[in-house]
A and B are shown apart, each in its own frame.
Chain A
Amino acid sequence: MSRIIMTAGINGAHKTAKQAEEMLAKAVEQKGRDCKVEFPNTGYYMPVIYSMTGRAVEKLADFEDVMAEEIKPLLPKLVDENLWLPYLGPALDAGMATLFAEEIIEACKYLIGPNPVDGIWLGAADDVILRERGIQFVDGTAPGFAAIVGSAPDVETAVKIARKCQERSLYVFMAGHHNGTTFAEQLVEGGVQLGWDTRLIPFGREITAAIYAAGFASRVALTFGGVQPGDYRRHLLYNKNRIFAFVVALGKVTDEWYATAAGAINYGFPTIADSDIPQVLPTGVCTYEHVVSNIPHDEIVEKAIEVRGLKIKVSEVPIPVSVSPAFEGERIRKEDMHCEFGGQRTPAFEWLRMLDIGEVEDGRVEVVGPDVDSLEVGGKMPLGIVVEVAGRKMQTDFEPVLERQVHTFMNEAQGLWHMGQRDISWVRISKDTAKAGFKLEHIGKLLHAMYHERYSNIIDKVQVKIFTDEEQVLKLSEMARKIWAVRDERLAGMTDEDVDTFYSCTLCQSFAPNHVCVVSPERPGLCGAYTWLDCRAAYEIIPTGPNQPIPKGKCIETTIGQWDKVNAFVLKASGGNVERMSQYSMITDPMTSCGCFECITAVLPSTGGIMIVNREFAEMTPCGMKFSTLAGTVGGGRQTPGFIGHSKHYIISRKFIAAEGGIRRIVWMPTMLKDEIKDAFIKRAEELELGGEEFLARIADETTATTEEEVLEFITKAGHPVTTLEPMF
Chain B
Amino acid sequence: MAQDSGAEGINIVGMCCTATEILMRHGIPVAGNFLQQELAVMTGVVEVMLVDVQCIMPALGSLSGCFHTKLITTSPKCKIAGAEHIEFHEDRAVEIAREIIKIGIENFGNRKGKVQIPKVTERGIAGFTTENIFYNLGGRFRSSYRPLNDAIISGRLRGAAGVVGCNNPKQVHDYGHIAMIKELIKNDVVVVATGCSAIAAGKAGLMRPEAAAKYCGKGLAEICEAVGLPPVLYVGSCVDNSRILTILANVVAEGGLGDDISDLPVAGAAPEWMSEKAVSIGMYFVASGVFTVIAEPLPILGAPNLTRYLTDEIEKDIGGKWAFERDPIKAAGMMLEHIEKKRDALGINVEKERKLYDMEERRALAVE
Contacts and interface: CB of A to CB of B under 8 A. Distances in A.
B290 to A, nearest CB: 24
A91 interface: yes
A52 to B, nearest CB: 7
Interface string B80-108: 00000000000000000000000000000
B138 A89 contact: yes
B156 A282 contact: yes
B129 to A, nearest CB: 12
A83 B123 contact: yes
A93 B143 CA distance: 10
Given A83-B123, A285-B146, A309-B355, A93 B139 contact: yes
A87 B228 CA distance: 5
B359 interface: yes
A92 B361 CA distance: 27
Contact of A143 (B222, B226, B359, B368): B359
Given A85-B228, A236-B141, A311 B358 contact: yes
Most buried by A among B125, B144, B222, B357: B357
Nearest to A238: B367
Interface in B333-368: 354-363, 365-368
Contacts of A52: 141
Interface string B45-82: 00000000000000000000000000000000000000
A87 B139 contact: no
Interface stretch (A1-9, A327-335, A342-350, A457-465): A1-9
B148 A242 contact: no
Contacts of A455: none
A282 B365 contact: no
Nearest to B145: A284
Contact of A89 (B125, B136, B148, B361): B136
A311 B357 contact: yes
A160 interface: no
Contacts of A95: 139
Interface in B190-229: 208-209, 222-223, 225-229
B356 A237 contact: no
A74 interface: yes
A88 B368 contact: no
Given A236-B141, A284-B144, A241 B154 contact: no
Contacts of A74: 140
Given A284-B150, A310-B356, A89 B367 contact: no
Given A2-B226, A91-B139, A93-B140, A283 B147 contact: yes
B365 A283 contact: no
Interface residues of B, number: 44
B151 interface: yes
B228 A84 contact: yes
A140 interface: yes
A475 interface: no
B22 interface: no
B308 interface: no
B367 A237 contact: yes
A236 to B, nearest CB: 6
B279 interface: no
A281 B222 contact: yes
A681 interface: no
Contacts of B366: 237, 241
B148 A284 contact: yes
A74 B135 CA distance: 13
Given A85-B125, A282-B154, A282-B223, A6 B356 contact: no
A311 B140 CA distance: 30
B214 to A, nearest CB: 14
A565 interface: no
Nearest to B254: A284
B208 A83 contact: yes
A284 B151 contact: yes
A89 B140 contact: yes
Contacts of B358: 140, 311-313
Nearest to B227: A88
B142 A282 contact: no
A1 B228 CA distance: 10
A284 B227 CA distance: 11
A226 to B, nearest CB: 10
B278 interface: no
Contacts of A3: 225, 228
A87 B367 contact: no
Given A85-B125, A282-B151, A284-B147, A236 B356 contact: no
Interface string B153-181: 01010000000000000000000000000
A225 interface: yes
A266 interface: yes
Interface in A56-94: 74, 79, 83-93
B245 interface: no
A179 to B, nearest CB: 30
A306 interface: yes
A313 B358 CA distance: 8
Contact of A88 (B124, B125, B226): B226
B143 A89 contact: yes
Given A234-B367, A237-B367, A306-B356, A83 B228 contact: no
A481 B141 CA distance: 61
A104 interface: no
Contact of A266 (B142, B354, B360): B142
B137 interface: yes
Most buried by B among A2, A79, A86, A233: A86
A96 B141 CA distance: 8
B141 A92 contact: yes
A197 to B, nearest CB: 22
B222 A90 contact: no
Contact of B137 (A140, A233, A284, A306): A284
Interface in A1-40: 1-3, 6
B222 A282 contact: yes
A306 B354 CA distance: 8
Given A86-B228, A238-B367, A92 B356 contact: no
A232 interface: yes
A244 interface: yes
A288 interface: yes
Contact of A92 (B139, B151, B208): B139
A19 B357 CA distance: 39
A241 B359 CA distance: 10
B140 A88 contact: no
B181 to A, nearest CB: 19
A128 interface: no
A591 to B, nearest CB: 26
A130 interface: no
B139 A241 contact: no
A280 interface: yes
A429 B357 CA distance: 35
A280 B151 CA distance: 13
B142 A236 contact: yes
Contacts of B144: 284-285
A237 B136 CA distance: 18
Nearest to A74: B140
10 nearest A-B residue pairs (beta carbon)? A284-B147, A92-B139, A140-B359, A311-B356, A87-B228, A241-B365, A284-B150, A311-B358, A89-B139, A86-B136
22 contacts: A1-B225, A2-B226, A79-B228, A85-B228, A86-B125, A87-B227, A88-B138, A88-B147, A89-B138, A93-B141, A96-B140, A139-B359, A233-B142, A241-B365, A241-B366, A241-B367, A242-B363, A244-B362, A266-B141, A282-B150, A284-B138, A311-B356
Given A95-B139, A285-B142, 19 more contacts: A2-B228, A84-B209, A88-B138, A90-B139, A92-B138, A92-B141, A96-B140, A232-B141, A233-B141, A233-B142, A242-B367, A266-B139, A266-B142, A282-B222, A284-B144, A285-B138, A285-B144, A310-B357, A311-B356
